[in-house]
Amino acid sequence: MANEDKQFVTEITPQDEDFSRWYIDVIKKADLMDYSPVRGCIVFKPDGYEIWEHIQEELDRRFKETGHRNAYFPLFIPESFFQKEKEHVEGFNPELPWVTEAGGEKLEERLAIRPTSETMIGHMYEKWIQSYRDLPVLINQWANVVRWEKRTLPFLRTSEFLWQEGHTAHENEQDAREETMRMLEIYRDFVENYLAIPVIVGQKTPSEKFAGAVDTYSIEAMMKDGRAVQAGTSHYLGTNFANAFDIQYLNRDNVREYVHTTSWGVSTRLIGSLIMVHGDDRGLALPPKVAPKQVMIIPIGPPKTRDAVVGRADELFAELKQAGVRVGIDDRGDIRPGWKFNEYEMRGVPVRLEIGPRDMENGVCVLVSRISGEKKVVSQDNLVEEVKAMLEQVHNEMFERAKAFREEHFYSVDTLEEMKASMDEKRGFTLAGWCGSEACESHVKEETGATSRNIPFEPEVTKTTCLVCGEAAKHTVVFARAY
Amino acid sequence: MANEDKQFVTEITPQDEDFSRWYIDVIKKADLMDYSPVRGCIVFKPDGYEIWEHIQEELDRRFKETGHRNAYFPLFIPESFFQKEKEHVEGFNPELPWVTEAGGEKLEERLAIRPTSETMIGHMYEKWIQSYRDLPVLINQWANVVRWEKRTLPFLRTSEFLWQEGHTAHENEQDAREETMRMLEIYRDFVENYLAIPVIVGQKTPSEKFAGAVDTYSIEAMMKDGRAVQAGTSHYLGTNFANAFDIQYLNRDNVREYVHTTSWGVSTRLIGSLIMVHGDDRGLALPPKVAPKQVMIIPIGPPKTRDAVVGRADELFAELKQAGVRVGIDDRGDIRPGWKFNEYEMRGVPVRLEIGPRDMENGVCVLVSRISGEKKVVSQDNLVEEVKAMLEQVHNEMFERAKAFREEHFYSVDTLEEMKASMDEKRGFTLAGWCGSEACESHVKEETGATSRNIPFEPEVTKTTCLVCGEAAKHTVVFARAY
């Protein structure tokens, strides 16, 4: 490796040295974001934003396929709305920014910037829903929301972030619970099969559920430092918001009843998650399905064959683009191929396509996987299929690696002592029995810094005693330190 | 017409009786929006929001095709940023909402909710742009913005609205001016060929230009009450924001220079415009390319043939859907076809497809244009092509009608007296000569309520004297009362 390349690579702090610095180095260097002059708010630069656009396209397609439609509700929420649901106001009040003046006048009632829209949407649903014929209401919103966080981290926890929030209303508990689970499963499938991130699906403990929900379900992903990210949540809200906003309907027996509501959301923290799950000391590694560039073409060889090789590379570029592959080409003559290889590896481009003079003669080119480094010589005649197969392969490699990593860092413990040792000595998730008391749960947090992530639907083992009090375990819970 | 149908139709106030009431009746009845509890903010209901989604898809495609990429900048703008560009702060300050508290604390510096993002983006560009190699920067943002308006009107003027704002930076004036014109032309082409709204393209007078721009260009559309809507604007900002935010770059001669910037935007007021341009006393008339439902299938005939007809209608529905047509079917057996015809005309569905037992026998169905009412019997064998042709025909009918209406309501005057008479007696746009003085321009406004809309690039006639002072005319200007 030439010096210039080596130096380049070492500009990124190694993950094992300082994972947080690695993360910041990578997202800055790969040009995904920049800090803004407003505390805790970032700028999504084009390469960062485009990841979000690909996430949006696919989720939006899946939401519509399951009968949901998009709508848009106001950014501002009157202060009185928050007072209507007790848990909700307690959960969100500390994080709200307040508009107190507008148009040169002091407002009579302060307006919060929405941290989530259950209250505003509850108010509107009360007007829209009269009878069972109006149900279900299946609405989603793509929007910015604001939570004034004390400690922020680009993508993963920012004061303003982008998300989607689904809000549905149903005739009864069963329909609403089915919806809650349907959306949770859409999230699981999307995050696993689109972002190549394996997740643990389960139910939040009461102390960790959404403020105002009856039950909250989540998918939890393991970052490469062993910490957890809650990658998506789906809430069964029961009749809590229906009560608060008086959303009643005339049922099939002509009796007035409260609707049952759900809400569910994922946000731009998915971008942070996929970086922390897949990235390595060489930089980003982007899942092919959301990568702004899926393939980067790099012509190689001596100056005398350069024009011919670049000419052929341009043709391959056009062919791949035509086939819907997001492809780039770097044909700059004054920059060495080795530097380019490192550059696009750092930027996380899933597949590199190399073509040189001998490849041209043989009618082939070389595809290189960002994950395994595997080099595959493929025929130019069959390029589109070969590239698509390689992208699929890279996706699978990413998922399998992430899954293997999670399995290596998944522990099972029986006592608090074991949990402490596990958290201090190893990175990862820990499965333990829990009696169901909030006291034991918060004791774990105080002693280890780990919170309950969820009660997995399919735990690998079932625990019989609580790791804190030793009483009979009600649940087997995943604990982890979390972002 | 049965009584039930008649009553239904008369629920919408006729346009000639009260155009404003007609507008509110139609958007409420067609379920496009609802008022929110926050002053001046509306809820975009699914059918209203979906029009915006189709506008977004196509504009986004055109922006990307011309080399632009999307990014996302913070909602909040520090107060000090507005102070940096004098005209800008004067223009926007009266309309700003201010966040003064957040996270339980009073903020050291107030944060405005963005009314537009030149200042925030200027601040970031200063960091990003070092050399001519970094130029041009071609970025667009899809976002919500807020302007605390005193008088609001759904879609056309709301305190919070949705828009896109392009922000580009260039090496020199020529490049920036070319970009300004390129985007103006994209808007013209989109609004005419996608929304079927003919527009007048031209330059704003200095008093009507964007606060902080050197030159502002606009496309102006005529509503059915003769008033104007500014449907899109593109600004050449010169080095005004570059000076304010110190955006300098090292040019090709290694000399530091200020960049030249542009900005350009269209907003959800396009939804209001297309309603006011195309709607009639029967209700909405939606341009086919952005209509949530392009075709509504209504099976007809007596009960005994109902199942067979509905069965065949379902097949046609599937075929059209498969072909990418946005199609609906209303096969409710307890509602009369006549009622349905009125309902979907009111909702503005461009094409109705009727199929009855005799049509089935003959292998045909009937397509009906929402605009001309023309009924066309078409073969079922050729349905997709026939439907696509009919959608194209409806688009053309809409454009031609709107254009004819505009021509009928386009006047040319030589004196203020004529202008007054024109504005009082007729609805429409008025072309007049103008000497270029702000005094004459504001005199027209005081006397007639009309503002200068723009100086059209291609005026129908060229005026030689100013309509107010009688001095030599510098420009031929379109005046109109405007939303």
**B127 contacts in chain A (CB < 8 Å):** 34
Q: List pLDDT tens digits, range A202-259.
A: 999 999 999 999 999 999 999 999 999 999 999 999 999 999 999 999 999 999 999 9
Predicted local distance difference test score (pLDDT) of residue A6: 44
Tell me how far apart the terminal alpha carbons of chain A are, to the nearest angstrom. 36
Whether B50 and A37 lie within 8 Å, measured CB to CB: no
Pairing of strands A200-203, B475-480: unpaired
Any B CB within 8 A of A457 CB: no
In the predicted structure, residue A7 carries a pLDDT above the cut 50: no
Q: Nearest by CB to B71, from A49, A97, A102: name it.
A: A49
In the predicted structure, residue A2 carries a pLDDT above the cut 80: no
Whether B74 and A38 lie within 8 Å, measured CB to CB: yes
Whether B34 and A74 lie within 8 Å, measured CB to CB: no
Half-sphere exposure (CA, 13 Å, Cβ side) for A88? 24
In the predicted structure, residue B2 carries a pLDDT above the cut 60: no
Min Cα–Cα distance to chain B from A208, Å = 21
Q: Which residues are within 8 A (CB) of B126 and not within 5 positions of it... i.e. 6 or more apart?
A: B245, B246, B247, B248
Q: Which residues are within 8 A (CB) of A441 and not within 5 positions of it... i.e. 6 or more apart?
A: A205, A207, A434, A452
- Cross-strand pairs, B33: B44
Half-sphere exposure (CA, 13 Å, Cβ side) for A453? 30
B89 pLDDT band, cuts 50/70/90, is: confident
Average pLDDT value for residue range B82-109: 91
Predicted local distance difference test score (pLDDT) of residue B426: 83
List B residues 1-40 in contact with A (Cβ-Cβ < 8 A): 34, 36-38
Whether B43 and A100 lie within 8 Å, measured CB to CB: no
The tokens of A2 are what? 């030439």
Q: List pLDDT tens digits, range B278-325.
A: 999 999 999 999 999 999 999 999 999 999 999 999 999 999 999 999
Q: Does the CA dihedral B368-B372-B377-B379 come out positive or negative?
A: negative
- Compute the distance between CA of residue A212 and CA of residue A228 in angstroms, rounded to an integer: 23
User: CA nearest A360: which of A338, A335, A341, A377?
Assistant: A377
- Compute the distance between CA of residue B153 and CA of residue B145 in angstroms, rounded to an integer: 16
Predicted local distance difference test score (pLDDT) of residue A398: 98
The tokens of A7 are what? 């130096």
- Compute the distance between CA of residue A406 and CA of residue A424 in angstroms, rounded to an integer: 17
- Distances from the Cα of A260 to the Cα of A67, A172, A249, B120, B366, angstroms: 18, 6, 11, 42, 43
Average pLDDT value for residue range B412-418: 95
Average pLDDT value for residue range B109-123: 97
**B81 contacts in chain A (CB < 8 Å):** 37
Average pLDDT value for residue range B7-34: 89
Q: Does the CA dihedral A87-A90-A96-A99 come out positive or negative?
A: positive
The residue of chain B nearest to residue A111, with distances taken between CA atoms, is: B38
Predicted local distance difference test score (pLDDT) of residue B3: 41
Number of C-beta neighbours around residue B469 at 10 A:
15
Q: List pLDDT tens digits, range B153-163.
A: 999 999 999 99
The residue of chain B nearest to residue A42, with distances taken between CA atoms, is: B74
Q: Which of A45, A68, A76, A110 to probe by mutation at the B interface, max B CB count within 10 Å?
A: A76
In the predicted structure, residue B1 carries a pLDDT above the cut 60: no
List A residues 101-140 in contact with B (Cβ-Cβ < 8 A): 101-104, 111, 113, 120, 123-124, 127-128, 139
- Compute the distance between CA of residue A20 and CA of residue A10 in angstroms, rounded to an integer: 16
The residue of chain A nearest to residue B147, with distances taken between CA atoms, is: A103
Whether A49 and B72 lie within 8 Å, measured CB to CB: yes
Residue with tokens 């649940």: A475
From the number of C-beta atoms within 10 Å of its C-beta (0-12, 13-18, 19+), residue B216 rates as buried
3-state SS class at A162: strand
Predicted local distance difference test score (pLDDT) of residue A192: 98
Whether B143 and A144 lie within 8 Å, measured CB to CB: yes
Min Cα–Cα distance to chain A from B106, Å = 10
Q: List pLDDT tens digits, range A19-78.
A: 999 999 999 999 999 999 999 999 999 999 999 999 999 999 999 999 999 999 999 999
Whether A160 and B76 lie within 8 Å, measured CB to CB: yes
- Compute the distance between CA of residue B143 and CA of residue A317 in angstroms, rounded to an integer: 33
Q: List pLDDT tens digits, range A379-435.
A: 999 999 999 999 999 999 999 999 999 999 999 999 999 999 988 888 899 999 999
Whether A100 and B95 lie within 8 Å, measured CB to CB: no
**A37 contacts in chain B (CB < 8 Å):** 78, 81, 120, 123
Q: Which residues are within 8 A (CB) of B406 and not within 5 positions of it... i.e. 6 or more apart?
A: B198, B222, B428, B429
Q: What is the full DSSP assignment across B183-238?
A: HHHHHHHHHHHTS----EEEE--GGGS-TT-SEEEEEEEE-TTS-EEEEEEEEEEE
ipTM over 0.90: yes
Q: Nearest by CB to A74, from B36, B53, B124: name it.
A: B36
Predicted local distance difference test score (pLDDT) of residue A9: 46
Note whether A283 and A297 are within 8 A (CB): no
Q: Which residues are within 8 A (CB) of A347 and not within 5 positions of it... i.e. 6 or more apart?
A: A30, A31, A47, A283, A284, A286, A293
A200 pLDDT band, cuts 50/70/90, is: very high
3-state SS class at A386: helix
**B77 contacts in chain A (CB < 8 Å):** 38
In the predicted structure, residue A164 carries a pLDDT above the cut 50: yes
**A94 contacts in chain B (CB < 8 Å):** 103-104
Whether B74 and A160 lie within 8 Å, measured CB to CB: yes
Note whether A373 and A366 are within 8 A (CB): no
Q: Which domains does chain A have, with CATH numbers?
A: 19-278 (3.30.930.10), 295-393 (3.40.50.800), 410-480 (3.30.110.30)
Residue with tokens 């066309």: B376
- Compute the distance between CA of residue B125 and CA of residue A45 in angstroms, rounded to an integer: 11
B5 pLDDT band, cuts 50/70/90, is: very low
- Compute the distance between CA of residue B220 and CA of residue B271 in angstroms, rounded to an integer: 14
Note whether B357 and B301 are within 8 A (CB): yes
- Compute the distance between CA of residue A39 and CA of residue A33 in angstroms, rounded to an integer: 15
**B43 contacts in chain A (CB < 8 Å):** 71-74, 124
Average pLDDT value for residue range A440-452: 96
Q: Which of A34, A38, A83 to probe by mutation at the B interface, max B CB count within 10 Å?
A: A38
Min Cα–Cα distance to chain B from A45, Å = 5
Number of C-beta neighbours around residue A67 at 10 A:
11
In the predicted structure, residue B9 carries a pLDDT above the cut 60: no
Min Cα–Cα distance to chain B from A112, Å = 9
Q: List pLDDT tens digits, range B239-249.
A: 999 999 999 99
**A70 contacts in chain B (CB < 8 Å):** 46, 49-50, 53
Predicted local distance difference test score (pLDDT) of residue B4: 44
Q: Which residues are within 8 A (CB) of A317 and not within 5 positions of it... i.e. 6 or more apart?
A: A297, A327, A328, A329
In the predicted structure, residue B434 carries a pLDDT above the cut 60: yes
Whether B100 and A98 lie within 8 Å, measured CB to CB: yes
Rounded to a whole number of angstroms, the CA Rg of chain B reads: 25
- Compute the distance between CA of residue A175 and CA of residue A11 in angstroms, rounded to an integer: 53
User: What phi-psi label fits residue B397: left (phi over 0), alpha (psi between -120 and 50 degrees) or beta?
Assistant: alpha
Q: List pLDDT tens digits, range B355-390.
A: 999 999 999 999 999 999 999 999 999 999 999 999
The residue of chain B nearest to residue A34, with distances taken between CA atoms, is: B124
Length of chain B: 483
Whether A94 and B101 lie within 8 Å, measured CB to CB: no
Q: Does the CA dihedral B93-B94-B96-B101 come out positive or negative?
A: positive
List A residues 51-70 in contact with B (Cβ-Cβ < 8 A): 52-53, 69-70
Half-sphere exposure (CA, 13 Å, Cβ side) for A129? 29
Half-sphere exposure (CA, 13 Å, Cβ side) for A64? 12
Whether A102 and B148 lie within 8 Å, measured CB to CB: yes
Predicted local distance difference test score (pLDDT) of residue B193: 98
Predicted local distance difference test score (pLDDT) of residue A4: 43
Predicted local distance difference test score (pLDDT) of residue B150: 87
Q: Which residues are within 8 A (CB) of A23 and not within 5 positions of it... i.e. 6 or more apart?
A: A153, A272, A275, A276, A279
The residue of chain A nearest to residue B45, with distances taken between CA atoms, is: A71
Average pLDDT value for residue range B431-438: 97
Q: List pLDDT tens digits, range B28-83.
A: 999 999 999 999 999 999 999 999 999 999 999 999 999 999 999 999 999 999 88
Predicted local distance difference test score (pLDDT) of residue B83: 87
Q: List pLDDT tens digits, range B157-210.
A: 999 999 999 999 999 999 999 999 999 999 999 999 999 999 999 999 999 999
Q: Which of A73, A114, A137 to probe by mutation at the B interface, max B CB count within 10 Å?
A: A73
Whether B50 and A69 lie within 8 Å, measured CB to CB: yes
Q: Which of B64, B83, B99, B101 to probe by mutation at the A interface, max A CB count within 10 Å?
A: B99
Q: Which of A50, A72, A93, A127 to probe by mutation at the B interface, max B CB count within 10 Å?
A: A72
Helices (H) and strands (E) in chain B, counts: 15, 25
The residue of chain B nearest to residue A119, with distances taken between CA atoms, is: B37
State the Cα torsion A84-A86-A89-A90 to the nearest 10°. Answer: 170
List A residues 156-185 in contact with B (Cβ-Cβ < 8 A): 160, 162
Predicted local distance difference test score (pLDDT) of residue B403: 98
- Compute the distance between CA of residue B464 and CA of residue B477 in angstroms, rounded to an integer: 11
Mean pLDDT of chain B: 95
- Distances from the Cα of B481 to the Cα of A186, A209, B221, B363, B462, angstroms: 50, 54, 12, 52, 21
Q: Which of A39, A53, A127, A157 to probe by mutation at the B interface, max B CB count within 10 Å?
A: A39
Residue A113 has phi, psi (to 5 degrees) of -80, 130
Half-sphere exposure (CA, 13 Å, Cβ side) for B188? 17
Note whether B478 and B456 are within 8 A (CB): yes
What interhelical angle do A383-408 and A269-278 show, nearest 10?
90
In the predicted structure, residue A120 carries a pLDDT above the cut 70: yes
List B residues 71-90 in contact with A (Cβ-Cβ < 8 A): 71-78, 81
Any B CB within 8 A of A333 CB: no
State the Cα torsion A452-A454-A456-A459 to the nearest 10°. Answer: -10
User: CA nearest A102: which of B210, B105, B165, B115?
Assistant: B115
Q: Does residue A299 have a cis bond before it (omega within 30 degrees)?
A: no
- Compute the distance between CA of residue B365 and CA of residue A432 in angstroms, rounded to an integer: 66
Note whether B267 and B257 are within 8 A (CB): no
**A77 contacts in chain B (CB < 8 Å):** 38
What interhelical angle do B19-29 and B269-278 show, nearest 10?
110
- Compute the distance between CA of residue B280 and CA of residue A311 in angstroms, rounded to an integer: 57
